[in-house]
């Protein structure tokens, strides 16, 4: 694989930057990035141009339109259309160009709302996703259907990975579209800068989430690209859960925020619980997450304080 040409969609993004480093650490140097503004991955002409110009042997599809609960609630149509059009057209053109492998990144949002914890890959079709995530989750999940159908009919080698919520240095801290960890870090750090006495957090705090350090995620994707060639989806994550209430208290502690926390129970919690069964990742690709959660949070907070908080 060392001489294969790898094209990473969304390679300028949060995960993409870490993934490029991970591939390079594994000896893969022939890497191209396909991202805005150079390529509009919803546009078929641009996707065809991507294949013509980067000439990939392997495509790793990270690019996505994605956000937190508020963003999902406000943009269900765009989230469905943009994500499904990217995936469908990229896989189809990859098949037409006879590439060696397509690596599709799905989302934990594809799982049913009341999936038993820990989420096993076999549970993926046992119900409808949580409502605020459903358009995004189902659009990404269609890549699994397409991947399996194209392998069955055409022998096309594509795989589907299901990462849990990512966090880490370089995350998206834009309050309009960020996920829970960067949103909470920003709230705490900004409140201290402004001398505010409290922060407001959505929901009840009872929901649980699993969080996956971005460097660990990048390592898992590289290992799957190198080692996994089957139709069945594979969860990649850290294999633990924490309540949002405990998460808020931990982030307040690590940022040094001394103020109060006000829970806005008029806002939704989202999916009640989330945690992946990651045993298949261990047996199939030899991956186990390595980063301690507190240590990962400290690195993320330090990055925001040094790089991100100036634009608050």
The residue to which tokens 């189809």 are assigned: 92
Catalytic site residue 128?
Answer: no
Sign of CA dihedral 254, 255, 256, 261: negative
> What local confidence, expressed as pLDDT, does residue 312 receive?
41
Report CA 113 to chain centroid distance, whole Å. 18
Q: What are phi and psi of 57, to 5 degrees?
A: -90, -35
CA distances from 23 to 48, 226, 288 (A): 24, 10, 17
pLDDT tens, N- to C-terminus, the chain (312 residues): 889 999 999 999 999 999 999 999 999 999 999 999 999 999 999 999 999 999 999 999 999 998 878 888 999 999 999 999 999 999 999 999 999 999 999 999 999 999 999 999 999 999 999 999 999 999 999 999 999 999 999 999 999 999 999 999 999 999 888 889 999 999 999 999 999 999 999 999 999 999 999 999 999 999 999 999 999 999 999 999 999 999 999 999 999 999 999 999 999 888 899 999 999 999 999 999 999 999 999 999 999 999 976 544
In the set 51, 95, 111, 136, the catalytic residue is 136
* Helix (H) or strand (E) run with residue 5 in it: none
Q: What is the DSSP string of 99-140?
A: -SEEEEE--GGGSBTTPPSSBPGGGTTSSPBPTTTHHHHHHH
CATH architecture group of domain 6-167+211-239+273-290: 3-Layer(aba) Sandwich (3.40)
At 216, list the tokens. Answer: 């660990």
C-alpha–C-alpha distance, residues 76 and 42, integer Å: 16
The 3-class SS string of 224-274 reads HHHHCCCCCCEEECCCCCEEHHHHHHHHHHHHCCCCEEEEECCCCCCCCCC
Q: What is the DSSP letter of 55?
A: -
> What local confidence, expressed as pLDDT, does residue 176 receive?
83
């Amino acid at each position: 694989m060392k001489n294969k040409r790898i094209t990473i969609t969304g390679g300028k993004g949060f995960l993409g930057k870490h993934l490029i480093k991970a591939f390079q650490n594994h000896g893969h140097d022939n890497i191209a990035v396909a991202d805005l503004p150079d390529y509009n991955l919803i546009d078929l002409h641009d996707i065809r141009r991507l294949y013509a110009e980067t000439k990939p042997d392997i495509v790793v599809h990270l690019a996505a339109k994605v956000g937190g609960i508020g963003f999902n609630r406000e943009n269900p149509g765009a989230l469905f259309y943009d994500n499904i059009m990217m995936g469908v057209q990229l896989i189809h053109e990859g098949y037409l160009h006879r590439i060696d492998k397509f690596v599709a990144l799905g989302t934990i949002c594809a799982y049913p709302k009341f999936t038993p914890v820990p989420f096993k890959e076999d549970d993926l079709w046992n119900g409808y996703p949580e409502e605020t995530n459903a358009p995004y989750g189902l659009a990404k999940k269609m890549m699994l259907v397409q991947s399996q159908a194209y392998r069955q009919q055409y022998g096309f080698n594509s795989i589907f990975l299901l990462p849990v919520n990512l966090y880490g240095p370089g995350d998206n801290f834009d309050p309009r579209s960020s996920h829970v960890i960067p949103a909470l870090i920003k709230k705490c750090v900004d409140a201290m800068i402004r001398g505010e006495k409290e922060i407001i957090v959505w929901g009840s705090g009872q929901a649980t989430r699993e969080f996956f350090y971005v460097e660990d995620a990048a390592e898992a994707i590289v290992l799957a690209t190198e080692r996994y060639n089957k139709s069945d989806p594979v969860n990649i994550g850290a294999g633990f859960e924490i309540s949002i209430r405990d998460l808020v208290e931990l982030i307040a502690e690590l940022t040094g925020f001394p103020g109060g926390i006000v829970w806005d129970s008029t806002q939704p919690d989202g999916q009640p619980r989330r945690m992946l069964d990651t045993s298949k990742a261990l047996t199939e690709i030899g991956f186990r997450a390595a980063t301690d959660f507190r240590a990962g949070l400290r690195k993320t907070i330090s990055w925001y304080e040094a790089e991100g908080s100036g634009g608050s």
